[in-house]
């Protein structure tokens, strides 16, 4: 893959004070993983047919793409977990055909008329075309081994999975539905971008709004399982993703607030090995369990049963 971006650029923020996304554009803001095993598929180099082989970011092996896809986009040699899109994730975790989307009519706007290298309005249209999503999260209800749940998944391909007004509002409404109907709540995060800078303060307030909805859900006795995948950074990690009653993470996911390079530059000391990986965070008590993708559905179902939901 020739567009590899260092892992820590995914969540690095321009200033350590502000949880903002630093996306540069749809071609360069895809975390290294994503190009790998996406079934959406794009031609990476002229003349090389998309599809047959891909190189593992974990072990460097050349892998038969179909084989990787059959293993839920996990490297059969080293267990490296490649990117999966929001729709693929739904297919992996929910029982077939049970997902009922909610609030798809909530669409992003450009209230600040934000412009960096291109206008936010233009970027939105572009991202929507490229990913087939209307914004960075899908929310709805569905079944996990015949248990009805409220379910959300963010997609890091859409402006780095960052949280703007639509992501925040869809999540809040989902959490409120889960509270009313006493459903277990599962949110799978793949958000390198944190809060979406293109919507400024409106993005930042989503952190408080979603967290408040989760507090009410918690008071009502809800069960929230947060699943962190590569990458989960910035304002997403600093709000709902860290508020699970149980926090699962996929192996070797990058999880943190500001990216390691930013942290290093700010505090001026060498960071410990494995800093901001799932394994490091498990060791330090930040997450509860590392779950291999193939076990995720079963693990979630057992926790729901164990908690009597």
The residue ranges that bind Zn ion (CB under 5 A) are: 56, 58-59, 75, 77-78, 80
Rounded least distance, CB 58 to Zn ion, Å = 4
Question: To the nearest whole angstrom, how small is the minimum distance from the Cβ of residue 60 to Zn ion?
Answer: 7
Q: How far is the CB of 137 from Zn ion (least distance, A)?
A: 29
Q: What's the half-sphere exposure (Cβ side, CA atoms, 13 Å) at 133?
A: 25
For the chain, give the secondary structure using H, E and C. CCCCCCHHHCCCCCCCCCCCCCCCCCCCCCCHHHHHHCCCCCCCCCCCCCCCEEECCCCCCEEEHHHHHHCCCECCCCCCECCCCHHHHHHHHCCCCCCEECCCCCCCCCCCCCECCCEHHHHHHHHHHHHCCCCCEEEEEEEECCEEEEEEEECCCCHHHCECHHHHHHHHHHHHHHHHHCCEEEEEEEECCCECHHHHHHHHHHHHHHHHHHHHHHHCCCCEEEEEEEEECHHHHCCHHHCCCEEEECCCCEECCCCHHHHHHHHCCCCCCCCCEHHHHHHCCCCCEECCHHHHHHHHHHHHHHCCC
As measured in angstroms, the least distance from the Cβ of 53 to Zn ion is 13
Q: How far is the CB of 12 from Zn ion (least distance, A)?
A: 25
CB nearer to Zn ion: give 131 or 230.
Answer: 230
Closer by beta carbon to Zn ion, 58 or else 256: 58
| Cβ-proximal residues to 131 (8 Å cutoff; 6+ apart), any chain | 40, 85, 155, 157, 158
The smaller minimum CB distance to Zn ion, of residues 75 and 184, is found at: 75
Minimum gap (Å) between residue 253 Cβ and Zn ion: 15
The nearest distance, CB 74 to Zn ion, in angstroms, is 9
Nearer to Zn ion, 172 or 230 (CB): 230
Of 58 and 234, which has the nearer Cβ to Zn ion? Answer: 58
Output 59 or 265, the one with its CB closest to Zn ion. Answer: 59
Residue 82 or 120: which CB sits closer to Zn ion?
A: 82
Nearest CB to Zn ion, comparing residues 36 and 168: 36
CB within 8 A of 144, min separation 6: which ones?
93, 94, 95, 151, 186, 297, 300, 301, 304
Q: How far is the CB of 84 from Zn ion (least distance, A)?
A: 16
């Amino acid at each position: 893959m020739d567009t590899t971006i260092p892992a820590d650029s995914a969540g690095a923020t321009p200033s350590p004070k502000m949880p903002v996304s630093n996306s540069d554009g749809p071609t360069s803001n895809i975390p290294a993983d994503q190009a790998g095993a996406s079934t959406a598929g794009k031609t990476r180099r002229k003349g090389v047919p998309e599809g047959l082989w891909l190189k593992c970011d974990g072990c460097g092996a050349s892998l038969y793409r179909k084989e990787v896809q059959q293993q839920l986009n996990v490297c059969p040699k080293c267990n490296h977990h490649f990117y999966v899109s929001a729709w693929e994730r739904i297919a992996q975790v929910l029982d077939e055909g049970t997902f009922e989307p909610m609030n798809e009519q909530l669409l992003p706007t450009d209230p600040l008329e934000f412009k960096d290298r291109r206008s936010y309005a233009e970027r939105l249209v572009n991202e929507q075309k490229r990913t087939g999503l209307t914004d960075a999260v899908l929310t709805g209800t569905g079944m996990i081994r015949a248990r009805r749940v409220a379910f959300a998944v963010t997609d890091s391909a859409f402006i780095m999975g960052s949280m703007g007004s639509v992501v925040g509002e869809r999540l809040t409404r989902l959490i409120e539905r889960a509270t009313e109907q006493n459903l277990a709540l599962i949110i799978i995060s793949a958000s390198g971008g944190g809060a979406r800078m293109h919507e400024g303060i409106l993005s930042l307030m989503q952190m408080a709004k979603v967290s408040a909805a989760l507090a009410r859900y918690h008071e009502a006795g809800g069960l929230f399982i947060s699943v962190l995948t590569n990458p989960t950074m910035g304002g997403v990690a600093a709000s709902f993703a860290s508020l699970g009653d149980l926090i699962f993470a996929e192996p070797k996911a990058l999880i943190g607030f500001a990216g390691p390079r930013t942290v290093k530059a700010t505090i001026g000391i060498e960071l410990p090995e494995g800093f901001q990986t799932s394994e490091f965070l498990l060791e330090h008590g930040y997450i509860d369990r590392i779950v291999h993708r193939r076990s995720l559905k079963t693990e979630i179902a057992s926790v729901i049963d164990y908690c009597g939901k």
